[in-house]
Amino acid sequence: MPVVRSTIGKNVVIWHENLVNIYDSSIGDNTKIASFVEIGGAKIGKNCKIEAYTFIPPGTVIEDNVFIGPHVAFTNDRYPTATPKGWVCEPVTVKRGASVGACSVVCPGVTVGENALVGAGSIVTRDVAPCQVVHGKKAEFARVIPYE
């Protein structure tokens, strides 16, 4: 996958440029991007680290000095459908110095505050205050599916 229609800052490291999909985005100086990352229509600040298998959709803003763990998914559509009819972009913002742990999902319209920490495996549905630590969304027992 190529890097197209994007502005790439100085000293940006994209570990395997053929194994990322970056389009219509800007990437700040000294940012490191691992393999199998998709960044589309987003703004990434300086000195960030984005680990493998991360999805960053249109409208997302990631400020300077942010760490994004592997397999993180940012979302920008509260009611996704297969057609663009009625689509409303609700971008995510991750403020300066924040960290988002591995396998987390950040829901549409959420702001992760400055120097906040999102623990691994979290589902973030509301804004995270500056310097706040949040974590988790434990699976709950729903019912037993009968074996046939």
Which CATH number covers residue 37? 2.160.10.10
**Number of structural domains the chain divides into:** 1
66/33 Cα distance (integer angstroms): 12
Q: What is the pLDDT of residue 83?
A: 84
The CA angle 56-62-64, to the nearest 5 degrees, is: 145
Q: Minimal CA–CA distance to 92: which of 71, 104, 108? A: 108
Q: Which backbone phi and psi does 19 adopt, to 5 degrees?
A: -115, 25
Residue 56 domain boundaries:
1-148
End-to-end CA distance of the chain: 43
21 DSSP β-pair partners: 38
Tens-digit pLDDT string for the chain (148 aa): 589 999 999 999 999 989 999 999 999 999 999 999 999 999 999 999 999 999 999 999 999 999 999 999 999 998 888 888 888 899 999 999 999 999 999 999 999 999 999 999 999 999 999 999 999 886 566 666 676 6
> What is the predicted pLDDT for the residue at 138?
65
Q: How far apart are CA 135 and CA 112, in angstroms?
A: 12
